[in-house]
Amino acid sequence: MQQAANFWDQSAEKYASSPIDDIEAYNYTLGRTRSYLSPSDKVLEVGCGTGSTALLLAADVNHIVASDYSGKMIAIAKGKAKDQGTENVEFITADLFDASIENGPYDVVLALNLLHLVEDIPSALRRISTLLKPGGTFISKTVCQPGKGAPLKFRLIKVILPLMQFLGKAPYVRFMQTGVLEDMVATQGFKIIEAGDYPAPSRYIVAKKI
């Protein structure tokens, strides 16, 4: 875990300054996410990076706790919140399993572009379930196994990723089939109510805690 945090610490500045690859798809999933939020909601975002999504959703909810295990990512996020005058987002340096985020239950938990970076996804999903209230909403977006129709960059990444990881230039990544991911979500006490590729191979899933 510390090795992964160090990787993202070193990548934080570049990550913060890099444009979103597919802004149309990002805005679409942002809109879909907003449709599941209410002004009274207490939200947790895990793996929030530099906080862009949490800050964009802040006006749609009561409060957001946004966590990431990269302290440098969180420092950048806090700076953004201060500059924007956003007061209902609490940024914390924490792993999903850290006790510092056990102040639920939450109405909604977000894990956007995260699960493919997690080694033990079933444990992560069980932890998320414990943080949600009964009937709460879990929203995730996960890069899955690139198919033949996937953009060339995803197919190239799959080829060169092992070498980049060996050299310490890439984090742990697991590319799953979408069906495998959805089975994991369903078997950990969730009912999937929406799923789609926005765009492929990024699988957007909305699920309710049963």
CATH number of the domain at 138, please.
Answer: 3.40.50.150
d(CA 5, CA 85): 28
Count the domains in the chain: 1
β-pairing, 63-68 vs 89-93, is parallel
DSSP letter string, 7-51: HHHHHHHHHHHSPPTTHHHHHHHHHHHHTT--TT-EEEEES-TTS
β-pairing, 190-197 vs 202-209, is antiparallel
**Which residue segment(s) compose the domain that 119 sits in?**
2-209
β-pairing, 106-112 vs 42-46, is parallel
Q: What is the pLDDT of residue 1?
A: 61
Per-residue model confidence as pLDDT tens digits over 106-136? 999 999 999 999 999 999 999 999 999 999 9
SS3 content of the chain, % helix, strand, coil (to 5): 45, 25, 30
Q: What is the pLDDT confidence band of residue 156, given thresholds at 50, 70 and 90?
A: confident
Percent of the chain with pLDDT over 70: 96
Is 118 exposed, middle or buried, given 0-12, 13-18 or 19+ CB atoms closer than 10 A? buried
Per-residue model confidence as pLDDT tens digits over 137-153? 999 999 998 766 666 77
Residues in the chain: 210
Q: What is the pLDDT of residue 2?
A: 61
Q: Mean pLDDT over all residues of the chain?
A: 91
Q: What is the pLDDT confidence band of residue 189, given thresholds at 50, 70 and 90?
A: very high
d(CA 172, CA 64): 27
Q: What is the pLDDT of residue 7?
A: 86
| CB contact at 8 A, 70 and 9 | yes
CA distances from 146 to 21, 89, 127, 176, 206 (A): 16, 34, 27, 9, 21
Q: What is the pLDDT confidence band of residue 54, given thresholds at 50, 70 and 90?
A: very high
Q: What is the pLDDT of residue 150?
A: 67
